[in-house]
Structure 1
């Protein structure tokens, strides 16, 4: 029999640390199969480490400091080192998140960014300066296309040629193309040729003669629009073709008269277009003027009748009646306009007290026909010329004044309320001549 002290004690006395580290006995002590039998036991032990660790057995002092554990780095790397780096990674992760953003300090970057907005604000302050230009500046700018077409041709013509018959004929053609009309162009050429035949003449001298002749024609028709306070309400009827700017002109006049303290009422007589009714309502809200409107398609004469009744009841100073745009060659539409005038006169025999024909400067010679037809149907008392800032045909106003002699009350050179101003013959003449 074998001695129990020789075989049994070594395996039983191995501590938990020894089993955890998978430490083997000396190779010669178990040559037959002890290592093979323990191998399957050692494999599951690392997997169950997390559940076994809380209950370790007392480790004898012999097993704690063995030299073999230092000589075999591989086993401890698979057990202890797997758990040691995990807390190190969790500790290192929050450190850069908490420290690095504070070191960057975006505060100085924010202090530098407000500087560009300050520059933009300064640019915005400079931008409104063009809006403060005088009406003369806006008129000159608006008529620049008309003046350029006229003066460039004159400069090219007379700068190197004498005023012979051929030169004067070409000069007349230039004036006619500028829509000044045949009669006015002929008068200007006669004035230029007087005492200068076969002589050289400076372009600036020709421009001065054109401006003087234009002012002579426009001077008698340049009359401001005045409200007769003896009539209350003062009834003003606005007429014109489609797109001439009637509704916008009404809104601008309402803004100016409201600024003077007058009580203004607007009547949406353009019942063909729902947009025109809404546009007039917007102007009423902007200016503080009351608006009389009916559903689209309503009788325009009925709207005018109701507006006069309401204006009298409310003590209105000025009543402006809008009408639908209509071409002067549409007989049925012109007949409807005539009906509106008749209904107004039934309410007040002296009304309408003013009938303004709004002319679009871009239509050129067609404006002459409009003045003639609307004058017969509605009894036009004065003219308003709009869109002078977008055409090279501003000279048509001279031809209209020379032929019809109707007062020119207002001219428009933009969309703003202050871009509609009383007509000044001298300023207009100098602007159209490029002076």
Structure 2
């Protein structure tokens, strides 16, 4: 008997399930080290730490080329065709992107920490520690290893990435809490987690490449973008779109800290941590979705892409409703139980953050579809318009309504993003259908 290949939906859900196993552990450990940090440092110094971390992560995203998307989009075809030379060229190109990202990110981080610490509401003497923390940007920006493991369906190894990072942070924060260490040692513990995750992914990716024989004959020197049409444009578009997506989150934390102070920034960051943790299980379908859509696109399966996206959207919609209900009913209890009574005040803004996350969960297949159809520029334009509009309104909203204003605007921006991505994806699918119908049929 021949084995029946699993359907794309089953494959996405299976891979997402493998990621979920690690992320559940990560969510628990992540809340534990956040709670240790908050209880040890208090709201004020916890706010300083999260602002420094947000600063480093924001600059990491600014410099980050999202090389994993380039590797999956341009490497799926050569991998399916067993074209080792072309696959190695794509890998060489994405490693070059990672190197550029690391150098640029560290440089921006160290200079920014040294010269703009006052504007970021850091206390006197924290600029040097912030500059040292910026060294972790170099490993935040490396994504080729993640792309390789996603392309090879090695999601069970990816599942442990963030759990390892959080576990290292938990051990470090526990030592700091017991010894009553100052904030700089907590920063060291958080940075150590970032480095641990990088070395873990790099080791697994190299092992997998050797196992598949894809390192045989590979050299660092050689062609990169040659005969890869539009690859630089694609890399720049995904970089900018990724910067707007993830970096946007860290800009909000820094803006809240600058306008309302570190204590309010801590409430915003803790609410966001819990909201993201609640939405994480559904969002895990996205990294599992990219490789399947890329393979469908490489084999000309536009109708299958649409069917899969609709199925994922329906599952996401059901998950989104549950998320919002849990937040509204139990949000304050969750915060006070985990973080302490003083952090229950974050419940109000967390409801807005969960609502925004729920909208994103319902529409999560849209951007992966656009990227897989090599329309990353369209996704980038939608994100750019929405983010610029939000940022233009952010300062007056925070000054007038505080955290509530920032949260309500976050919901509005999530809704606008969803509508824009939907119309762009619909337009792109119609164009592909027209191209297929006008193509000459073989006789």
TM-score (norm 2): 0.22
Structure with bigger helix share is 2
TM-score (norm 1): 0.22
Structure with bigger strand share is 1
